[in-house]
Structure 1
C-alpha cells in the first residue's frame, strides 16, 4: 500500500499534512483540545497559539488534529513519539480498529517533576496501517469521546484509601504514600521523622529540667540555693544542646 497516495486521496486520514508522512507511517499532530484526567477529566479547549500544559504527575488525553477513517479491511497501530519519552511523558501504544472514524485520543502521563508544554500541531505519535487478510465483521461502533465532548472514564474502578483500608494487602495511608516514592526519598523522610522525634523529646526534657530548676529557685531563699538552681538550669540546657548537635551530626553522616 502506498501510504502517501492514500493520504493524498483523502483515505485513511483527513486533515493531514503531506510533510508528516515518514517512511511507512504518518506522524499524528496535536490538536486544540485535550482532557486532564487528574482534574476529573476536565476538557480544555486551546485558543490560537496556546499550548497544552501537562502538570507534574498529571494524566492527560491528547486529541489528534487528524481524523481517522479506518476501512473494514485495515487496522492502524499508533505509538507515541520517542522524543516525548525524554521529557518525562509515558510511552503510548494503541490502535484504531476497523471502522473507527474520528479524532484519536492518546493517553499519557507526566512522570517528571516539571511542567511539560506541547504546541498545537506538534507531532506526538506515529500511525501505521496494516491490511487484514479479510474485512472485519465486527466494526468499531459508537461515538468517540472527543466527538461526544466527554471522555468516558470508568471512575467506579477508582477507590480512595478509606474504601479499601480493610483489604489485607493495603497498609496505612502514610505507608502507601511512601511506597510510591523512590527508596532514597523514603529513607530521607524516615530519617527526618526520627530526627524530629528526637528533637521533640529533647525539647520536653529541657522544659522539664528548667521547670525543676526554677521551682528550686522559687522555693529556696538562700543565695547558694539560687545559684545552684540557675546552674542546674544552664547545665540542663547545655546537655540538651549537645544531644541535639549529636543527633544532627549522626543524621548527616548516615
Structure 2
C-alpha cells in the first residue's frame, strides 16, 4: 500500500520518518518531491549523479520507489535505479540520465524526483549496506 500525504506528514512530525529539511511545497497527495542538493547540468546522453537535498530515513515498515517528475521526463530525463530499502539513512544519490536533445539545468532546491513510500509488512530487517549514512552524491562502491 502506498502511504498518503497525511501519513507522510504525521510520520515526519512524530520522528518516525525523516525528510530533512522537509518542505510543504514538496508534499504531494501520495508522494514527496525530493530536491536537488546543488546545481547540476544534466548533459544530453550522460548519467549524472545528483544528491537529494533531503536526508531520508525510512523506518522498518516503509520502503520507497523513486521516479522522475513528469516535467523532467517530458525533457527526456530518466532515473536509473530507484528503490530504497527500509532502514536507509542519508542523502539519496539520484542517477539521472538525460536522453533528450538538450542539456537540462538543475538548480539547488529544484524538485526533480518523487519518492513514493510503500508499507512493508512484518518488516524486521533494516538496510545496513555500503551506502548507509550517505552524504552528497556517492559513486558506486565495490
Select the residue among 17, 28, 32 that pairs with 1:26.
32
- Which residue is 2:127 aligned to? 140
The answer for unaligned runs of 5 or more in structure 1 is: 33-50, 155-254
Select the residue among 72, 77, 87 that pairs with 2:60.
72
What TM-score do you get using the length of structure 1 for normalisation? 0.48
| Structure of higher CA gyration radius | 1
Greater RCO, CA 8 A, separation 6+: 2
- Which residue is 1:11 aligned to? 16
CA distance in 1, matches of 2:137, 2:61: 28
Deviation, 1:19, is 2.1
What TM-score do you get using the length of structure 2 for normalisation? 0.82
CA distance in 1, matches of 2:80, 2:140: 18
In terms of fraction of residues, the more strand-rich structure is 2
CA distance in 2, matches of 1:150, 1:91: 15
Deviation, 1:150, is 4.3
Q: Is the Cα contact below 8 Å between 2:80 and 2:97 reproduced in 1?
A: no
Alpha-carbon spacing, 1:124–1:86, altered in 2? closer, same or farther (3 Å) = same
SS of the residue corresponding to residue 7 of structure 1 reads: helix
Q: Is the Cα contact below 8 Å between 2:42 and 2:96 reproduced in 1?
A: no
Q: How does 1:67-106 map to 2 (within 5 A)?
A: 67-92=55-80, 94-106=82-94
In terms of fraction of residues, the more helix-rich structure is 1
Q: Is the Cα contact below 8 Å between 2:51 and 2:136 reproduced in 1?
A: no
Alignment length (residue pairs)? 135
Deviation, 1:85, is 1.3
Q: How does 1:1-254 map to 2 (within 5 A)?
A: 2-12=7-17, 13-32=19-38, 51-92=39-80, 94-137=82-125, 139-144=126-131, 146-147=134-135, 150-152=138-140
Q: Is the Cα contact below 8 Å between 2:67 and 2:115 reproduced in 1?
A: yes
SS of the residue corresponding to residue 5 of structure 1 reads: helix
SS of the residue corresponding to residue 133 of structure 1 reads: coil
CA distance in 1, matches of 2:96, 2:138: 17
Q: Is the Cα contact below 8 Å between 1:79 and 1:93 reproduced in 2?
A: no
* RMSD, matched Cα: 2.3
The answer for unaligned runs of 5 or more in structure 2 is: none
SS of the residue corresponding to residue 86 of structure 2 reads: coil
Alpha-carbon spacing, 1:135–1:108, altered in 2? closer, same or farther (3 Å) = same
